[in-house]
Structure 1
Amino acid sequence: MPAGISVHVGLNKVDPARYEGWDGALNACENDARDMAALAGAAGFSDTVLLTPDGTVDQVTGALREAAGSLGPGDILLFTYSGHGGQVPDTTGDDDEADSLDETLVLYDRQFLDDEVNREFRAFADGVRIVALLDCCHSGTAIEMPGAATPETGVRLMPPFRQQEIYARDQGFFEDLQRSLAKDSPNGETSQATALLISGCQDNQFSLDGDANGAFTGALLEVWDSGAFRGGYRSFHRAIQSRLPATQSPNLYTTGAPPPTFLRQRPFTV
């Protein structure tokens, strides 16, 4: 029988000591992680839930690596993240980012590059189904457009001025990390794991926070309807999209080459 492992990360704030005094306070990210873990548990997944202070780089990578060591062909990983999104310049010159910017998940202790997420996904055996649900800004096919108007409150966006300030402080670290990740890619080339992503918004939009859940996660839970939903991933995405305003339009894209049978499966099928 196939096995399912899920990892759920929800950060209502970050460590201000690591972000130049900014704590990134949000309302609903821990609720999102708990609710997604409950959904996954009901669908037959075992789960790891990492909330705020536990949402560190070491703990997130540790949970993903433990899952990679356990899952084989035909099994499934579900990875969900609710928190802030950010960006740093991509200095490797390998053309894997059209806008020369790497997306980041703003974890408790530092920003986690999209290339780091991809490295962890590549560690899974061929044939493992990977589903990622990211409820944060900068979560479309590319990162948010520089210079876009930023709402005052209620968005899961690391403020651009804070991104610039922290990047200036940590530029050497990120440049070394990006070079290391590029070298680790097979044949020295950029590669991607075979995975399916439903993100909280498009490139030039914001993912909204909320009182009980983020707007994206709340819509997802409504569509799922405690397991009553019966379509595939594409219809699942469209139904979530229909419940959100045009200012936040969730995106669906794949990396690698997920088989059509995977995309047609009912979401969260172990």
Structure 2
Amino acid sequence: MHNFQQFIQQGFQQVQQGFENGDIQNFLQQGVQQFQNLHQSDRDKRRYNVHINTWDDDSQNFSRAVHEKIREQNLWSRDVDSFYYEREGDSFTRSACNGNKKALFIGINYTGTQAELKGCINDVRNISELVCRRFGFQNCLYLTDEQSDPQMKPTYDNIIDAMKWLVEGAQPNDSLFFHYSGHGGTARDPTNEEVDSFNETILPLDYSKNGQILDDVIYDNLVKPLPKGCRLTAIFDSCHSGTVMDLPYTYQCDGQVEVIENDLRKAIFQKALSVVGSFIQGGQANIASALLGIFDGSINFSGNSQAQQQQVINKRKHDADVIQFSGCRDNQTSADAKINNVSTGAMSYAFITVMNQNENISYTQLLTQIRQIMKQKRFSQIPQLSSSHPMNMNEQFIM
């Protein structure tokens, strides 16, 4: 017994000496640094693994099959008013949009490359004209690949610096605006943080050298620094852009406006991956059959459950008033089109057209009419609205 007490005492003395000498702190610091390096290494791998405007067939089939099962289970809610009040959306602090106004416009045509687009710089000109004329934005920054100034080229570093400029000094009731027209991509997400197990990305002008900008990086630079009650309105006219800002709620309209909690979709995709094990070879029918195991009662699909509402807390929650419009779902491409003999992005064209036709418009009307115009122009992509808080879709759109 005496020997055991001596052993314990010696152990405490060694621990105490470790603290006094800094050995334990150094050991813990090394562990934290190794974890950070591992996380950074993983992020770098995703950053440089670029897939422009496409998924491989297995990934596409898997995503399509899961989305179809979500649709069959009626997990999208069409009662957007009840969704709003049940989640206490009226308690959220909105921006009055009567403070400082700043805007960032990015358009990349990738001129002279194999990835060349035609309408992105036109989109910047047209969207910025609308935003400045209609909503009074004057403090604006433009990044386009036609500019001769290297600092104004939409490179990886310049885009990140411009994002930081946009949110710097933001205050409650400010109104910030972000517009991106260019290529979008995807990267497999090993962290299980993404809704569909993929990172959505945007591609800077120098993506072949410096990689793509992951949605995690977009969130860290555009959303995370914002204070409570500050508005950021963003438009992404790019492929795979549905949840590119990692926001918790998504609204879409393909006939009727409906909403889903992205954490619920995330749970379904994670369960799907565990059921399937890996992307199944042999077509969508086999995948869909395997996915029947998702709906075995182990996931609570009742969007009205109080317990679930309390559990839906993750990194995407934010007190800022963030609203994102995207040209398509995560698993869709967004058209670089020619309309009335002018090259343009489908989302930018539809947004401008609807706003010019309506002096006052609600969020429901805006999303519905954007989709109607896209259908008229024979675009199959489904525009979406994602937000940091449940939306009162009957409220008037302001910036």
Residue 32 (structure 1) aligned with residue 123 (structure 2): yes
Shift, 1:259, TM fit: 6.6
Task: Look up the equivalent residue of 1:5 and give its one-letter code.
Answer: K
- Measured after TM superposition, the shift of residue 99 of structure 1 is 2.7
Aligned amino acid, residue 145 of structure 2: T
**Contact 2:107/2:144 (<8 A) preserved:** yes
User: Which of residues 139, 163, 174 in structure 1 aligns to 2:241?
Assistant: 139
Give the counterpart of 1:64 among 155, 158, 163. Answer: 163
**1:190 alignment partner, one of 302, 312, 315:** 315
The answer on whether the counterparts of 1:196 and 1:258 sit within 8 Å (CA) in structure 2 is: no
CA change 1:9–1:35 in 2 (3 A) is same
Residues 103 and 265 (structure 1 numbering): CA distance in 2 closer, same or farther, change over 3 Å?
same
Distance 1:254 1:223, change over 3 A: same
Query: In the TM superposition, what are the counterparts of 1:1-270 in structure 2 within 5 Å?
Result: 1-13=98-110, 23-42=114-133, 43-45=135-137, 46-52=139-145, 54-91=153-190, 93=191, 95-110=192-207, 111-120=212-221, 121-141=223-243, 190-193=315-318, 194=320, 195-211=322-338, 212=342, 213-225=344-356, 228-245=358-375, 247-255=380-388, 257=389, 260=392, 264-267=395-398, 269=399
Which SS does the other structure have where 1:103 is aligned?
A: strand
Does the 8 Å contact 2:233/2:324 carry over to 1? yes
Matches of 2:324 and 2:243, distance apart in 1: 9
The CA RMSD measured in Å over matched residues stands at 2.4
Distance 2:317 2:217 in 1: 11
> 2:317 & 2:219 partners in 1: Cα distance?
6
Would the aligned equivalents of 2:215 and 2:244 in 1 still touch at CA under 8 Å?
Answer: no
Q: Is the Cα contact below 8 Å between 2:360 and 2:396 reproduced in 1? A: no
Residue 60 of structure 1, CA deviation: 1.6
**Percent of paired sites with the same residue:** 30
CA 1:39–1:70: 2 relative to 1, 3 Å: farther
Q: When the two structures are aligned, how many residues end up with a matched partner? A: 212
Question: When you count helix as a share of all residues, which structure comes out higher?
Answer: 2
Unaligned runs of 5+ in 2: 1-97, 147-152, 246-313
Return the offset for 1:247. Answer: 1.0
2:109, 2:116 within 8 Å by CA — same for their partners in 1? yes
Following the alignment from structure 1 to structure 2, what is the Cα–Cα distance between the partners of residues 218 and 34?
11
TM-score by length of 2: 0.49
**Per the alignment, in what secondary structure is the counterpart of residue 397 of structure 2?**
coil
Q: TM-score, normalised by structure 1?
A: 0.71
The structure-2 alpha-carbon separation of the partners of 1:133 and 1:73, relative to structure 1 and needing over 3 Å to count, comes to same
Match of 1:244, SS?
Answer: helix
Counterpart Cα distance in 1 of 2:217 and 2:349: 27
Deviation at 1:27, TM superposition (A): 0.5
Gap runs ≥5 in structure 1: 17-21, 144-188
Measure, in 1, the Cα distance between the counterparts of 2:234 and 2:346. Answer: 17
SS of structure 2 residue aligned to 1:132 = strand
C-alpha separation in 1, matches of 2:363 and 2:335: 22
